[in-house]
Amino acid sequence: MKITYYLEVISSWCYWAEPMWAELKQRYAGRAEFGWRIAQMNASDYPASREQYDWFLRRSGTIMRSPFMLNSAWFEAGVVKEGTIVASNLVAEAARDLGFEGDEIRLAIAHAGEREGRKILRMEVAVEAAVAAGGGKLDAKKLRARAGSPEIRARIEASTKEFFAHQITQRPAFVIEDSIGDKAVFSGLVKIEPLAAAIDAMLADTAAYAAHAAHFGKPPAQ
């Protein structure tokens, strides 16, 4: 089974989804392959002002029953133009090529923005947050050069196109696929229960197919 998480690093709803993602990885360790991909938001998806963004943060924070409010200070109006791939996404993607395939770098960048209010839409700030989380294993110059490369931009454009090909618009999104060709797509959900129910059902079906194959082998030729 393969579970793909489509995200925007600075998305507040992706921030709220992270505990669920961590729990999924723990609960289904050894039974599923997990991976994340960037789905860059359109310029129109970003808030128009910090005041508006604070309204959104209060809404999501109360829905999630959070004891704290996320920090809107990272937001800079007018920075994101149509076709822009923001620095937070570029740096997180680039860190993969420097040995960080897991969640730690993108989570550190998100924390720097969403909790500390640092201006992570700026390349130097996103790189600084990433390097601090790299435990001395990330070189700032190499990371910045890689983040600004055409290859990284092309990868994010491809994964964003892939995201929209699923006919969804809301992040976080999760695509669950199994070995017998089934697929479940969840867009905008941050609670584990519906995803876990789908995963359990798909694992049961996959096990049933395997049991049948053990008894009857491949289907008869036409």
Burial of 52 (0-12, 13-18, 19+ CB in 10 A): middle
Place of tokens 């669920």: 20
Look at residue 77 and tell me whether its pLDDT is greater than 90.
no
Tokens (6 digits) for 35: 């991976």
Place of tokens 């030729």: 221
User: What pLDDT, on a 0 to 100 scale, did the predictor assign at position 79?
Assistant: 86
Other C-beta atoms lying within 10 Å of the C-beta of residue 78: 9
Coil vs helix vs strand at 185: strand
Tokens (6 digits) for 129: 């947050």
User: What pLDDT, on a 0 to 100 scale, did the predictor assign at position 78?
Assistant: 83
Look at residue 222 and tell me whether its pLDDT is greater than 80.
no
Q: What is the mean pLDDT of residues 65-78?
A: 95
- Tell me, what DSSP letter sits at residue 183? E
For the chain, give every domain's residue range.
2-216
As a whole number of angstroms, the distance between CA 15 and CA 199 comes to 22
118-169: pLDDT as tens digits: 999 999 999 999 999 999 999 999 999 999 999 999 999 999 999 999 999 9
* Long-range contacts from 65-68, C-beta under 8 angstroms, 24+ separation: 66/16, 68/115
Q: Is the dihedral of CA 49, 87, 176, 200 positive or negative?
A: negative
Tokens (6 digits) for 11: 């998305």
Q: Listing from the earlier edge strand, what are the strands of the sheet with 183-187?
A: 33-38, 2-7, 173-177, 183-187
- For domain 2-216, give the fold: Glutaredoxin (3.40.30)
pTM flag (> 0.85): yes
Banded pLDDT at 51 (limits 50, 70, 90): very high
Residue with the bigger pLDDT between 80 and 150: it is 150
Contact 8, 14 (CB under 8 A): yes
Look at residue 211 and tell me whether its pLDDT is greater than 90.
yes
Contact 97, 137 (CB under 8 A): no
Q: What is the mean pLDDT of residues 26-52?
A: 95
Which helix (H) or strand (E) segment holds residue 203: the answer is helix 192-216
